[in-house]
Amino acid sequence: MAQSDSLPTGNVTTGSSTSPKTRLMDDPIPAFRFRVEIDGIIEAGFTECKGLGFRWKVMQVKEGGVNSYVHQLPERVEYSKITLKRGVALSTALWEWCRQGMYDGCVVRRNVSIILFDRVGEEIIEVKRWDLQGAYPVNWKGANLKADSKRVAIETLELAHHGMTLNEG
């Protein structure tokens, strides 16, 4: 990466002017402080979130008379499905959302936010927010139950969506 293209370095100051809190901009952010909001409501605490991403489909075009390379042209963007895991809870709101459309095909799309937090001094602040547009459940897996296990019962929810934006806190 060229020097002029490098990421900013230095300190980020947050908080009031009387008690600033500082962290280095290139310090990595821990992955364990996050929450998931569905239509602005925190329904459950999730223990894992994976699949945040997208990729361009690429069309290869071979041009006659040009043998030194093949054109690589962008086509569509494909968004990955998001997989969320959580401990089984008493609330049935996520289960009901998953079941909507099961018999008539009319799924209910919702906006989902995955929010990453970091600690700056004594304060926990939002640093990144991935907003998923038009998300809906495509897969739900119940917990593996075993009589001699001491583990928490975990259920898995997989979401498809129309697109994703990144907002920095």
Higher confidence at residue 91 or residue 12?
91
Interval 135-161 mean pLDDT: 93
Interval 115-127 mean pLDDT: 87
Higher confidence at residue 157 or residue 3?
157
Residue 1: which pLDDT band, with cuts at 50, 70 and 90? very low
CB 156 within 8 A of CB 138: no
Residue 49 has pLDDT above 90, yes or no: yes
Confidence at residue 25, expressed as pLDDT on a 0 to 100 scale: 63
Share of the chain above pLDDT 70, in %: 84
CB 160 within 8 A of CB 140: no
In CATH, what is the architecture of 7-168?
Answer: Roll (2.30)
CB 119 within 8 A of CB 79: no
Residue 10 has pLDDT above 80, yes or no: no
Per-residue pLDDT tens over the stretch 57-116: 999 999 999 889 999 999 999 999 999 999 888 888 888 999 998 889 899 999 999 999
Average pLDDT over all residues of the chain: 83
What is the radius of gyration, based on Cα positions, of the chain? Answer: 21
Instruction: Give the whole-angstrom CA distance, residue 46 versus residue 34.
Output: 8
Interval 24-43 mean pLDDT: 80
